[in-house]
Structure formats: C-alpha cells, structure tokens
Amino acid sequence: MKRDIKRIAVLTSGGDAPGMNAAIRAVVRTATYNDLHVYGIMEGYKGMINGNLVRLENKDVANTILRGGTILKTARCEEFKTAEGRQKAYDSLVAFDIDAVVVIGGNGTYTGAYYFSREFNMPFIGLPGTIDNDIYGTDFTIGYDTAINTAVEAVDKIRDTASSHNRLFFIEVMGRHAGFIALETGIASGAAATFLPETDWGIDELLSMLKKAAIRKKLFNIVIVAEGNKNGDANELARLVHENLDSYETRVTTIGHLQRGGSPTASDRVLASRLGYEAVNSLMKGVENKALGIVNDKLHKVDFWDAIHKKKELNQEMLQMLEVLAM
C-alpha cells in the first residue's frame, strides 16, 4: 500500500564528492514544491544515531549548487553497523516523524540503507555520490566528472615541467578498487601508460615501452597510476623503473584529495539535480528501497542489494583505445 509521505530526511555519507550539495538542494526544493517537510541529517549515519537533524527550507540551500563538499557534513560510523546503533537511529527518525530518507553516497552508504530499511520498514532512496564511479546501476556517479577534470588539469600542468626537464612522471590518482578515474584521465591526458586495478598490464611491459621511447630520444613521459593497481603505488613503480633504466629521471606526484574537492562541473550539477529531483518524486510515487542512477540518459532504478553486490565493469572498448593511443 502506498505510504503517505509528509516528512523526508536527507543525508550524505562516506567520502564527500563534488555535486552532493546540488543533490541536497534538488531534494529540498522538490520536496518544498510538493508541500513536504525536509530535514537534513548532519554527519550521515552518526547524526542519525545522535538525532542531529535540522529543518531545511529553500533559503538554506540557496547558492549551494556551486559548492564542493557537503553542507550536511559526512562521517564514518561504526556504531551504525550494530543492531543497537540502528535502533537508536530509528528512534531519532521517529522522534522527528520522518517518513522516508534519501541517502547520498557510495557502497557503504547503500549497505547501511539496505539493512536499516529492511529492519524498520522505512523507505529509503539512494543517490550515487562518489568520485570513483564504481556504483552498479548508473553510467555516472555524482562527483566523477569533476574528479576527472581536476586530475586532467593537474596532469596537464605536470606535463609542462616533465617536458622542460626530460623527466618521467608517475602520477597517482584515486581508485583503490576501480580504475574509472585512471582510465579516463589516461585517455584525456595522453598518458604513455596507465595502470588500473582491473588489468594485468605490468612493469615488464612498461620497461619495454620506455626502452623503445628512449631509443627515439623521448625522455619525458606521463604514467597514470590508480592507487589500487596490482603492481604497487606510484612510488613503487618509479623505484622499479629507476632500478632497471638509467635513461630516465623519475618523479612522483600523488594528486590525492584534490580530486574530491572544488566546485562541481556543470555535468555533475545537472546529474545531481536530476537525481535529487527524481528521488523525491520516486518516494511520492511509492518507490522504496531503490538506488537511482542514469543509464543511457534515462532514469534507472535498481535494488540496493544489486547496487551493492554487482560489479560495474570498465568499458572494454575504452581499454583497447587506451592501449592503442598510448603507443
């Protein structure tokens, strides 16, 4: 039976991602337009446990669409993984008469939503907020496009000094378990090689390529390294090259958390706004416990279980293109 939704809560959890504020803004304004009350949960599931909820109105999200990070803050919460912690969180929602919750985050956020919604029969809708783009059920996640642009801009600047000094730069980007950022950064920056967690391309292939390049007198190159690749981090790869080749002077740069900050791109703002708008409309239509995404430019819904457990694969055509264009 369709529920009577009057009050909804929204939270951000896990790592912050550019565009989260745009999603919050869309949730608040869509809900307000439909005469719903909205409460922001501060610091994710930790704030849910502690009852840290604040009323949000249109004025509270004014001029937030351009801001990075999250105005609701975010935090890891081990207590929410316990039955006792989730009971406290439910009691907090009941105290504020919350009828449904919109969560914005990644795999861990979805896992919490899955178990909580099953235990307490509370409707949840999930929005994919993570720069890693590793959530099943959506072509792109909120923050991914901004992270790519940040990484490519950094690589372009490093290329100038690499060329000036004939140096080989190993540039490490985020991606412990997924190589989406590294893949697109490698293509967009014209990298000589790209190391991904999903591929078997190794140090021997890199050494062979660099030897051929040295014969052609090309002594500067850019190598993109996902932090979770199988051959070690950027420092380890640089060390191995230094030990096996005396032709190159190597340097290492880790872009790190720069990729998570900054004003979101237009693409991320539109994606986040679209998903926030659809989250409220979905709840009003009786949709429950689904993760929303965009596939082939259309709204797509999957069960939380599938979003958590099904693996999103890299585009094989892009992988082949990466190899060809790097030759």
Digit-coded pLDDT (tens) for 260-306: 999 999 999 999 999 999 999 999 999 999 999 999 999 999 999 99
**Mean pLDDT for the stretch of residues 51-70:** 97
Tell me: pLDDT of 245 over 90. no
* Structural domains present in the chain: 7-143+264-309 (3.40.50.450), 147-260 (3.40.50.460)
Kindly provide the b/e burial profile for residues 205-214, where b requires at least 16 CB atoms within 10 angstroms of the residue's own CB: ebeebbeebb
pLDDT digits (tens, 9 = 90+) for 81-138: 999 999 999 999 999 999 999 999 999 999 999 999 999 999 999 999 999 999 999 9
CB atoms within 10 A of CB 165: 12
pLDDT of residue 279: 98
63-67, 109-113, 229-233: segment of lowest average pLDDT:
229-233
**Catalytic site residue 132?**
yes
Tell me: pLDDT of 152 over 90. yes
Catalytic residue among 132, 145, 233, 268: 132
Tell me: pLDDT of 325 over 90. no
pLDDT of residue 302: 98
CA–CA gap between residue 124 and residue 73 (Å, rounded): 19
pTM of the predicted protein model: 0.94
Contacts of 140 (CB under 8 A, 6+ apart): 133, 267, 271, 294
Contacts of 148 (CB under 8 A, 6+ apart): 181, 184, 185, 188
Tell me: pLDDT of 165 over 80. no
| pLDDT level of residue 218 (50, 70, 90 thresholds) | low
Contacts of 66 (CB under 8 A, 6+ apart): 263, 264, 269
Burial of 106 (0-12, 13-18, 19+ CB in 10 A): buried
Coil, helix or strand for 231? coil
Tell me: pLDDT of 243 over 90. no
- Record the tokens describing residue 189, joined without a space: 């920056």
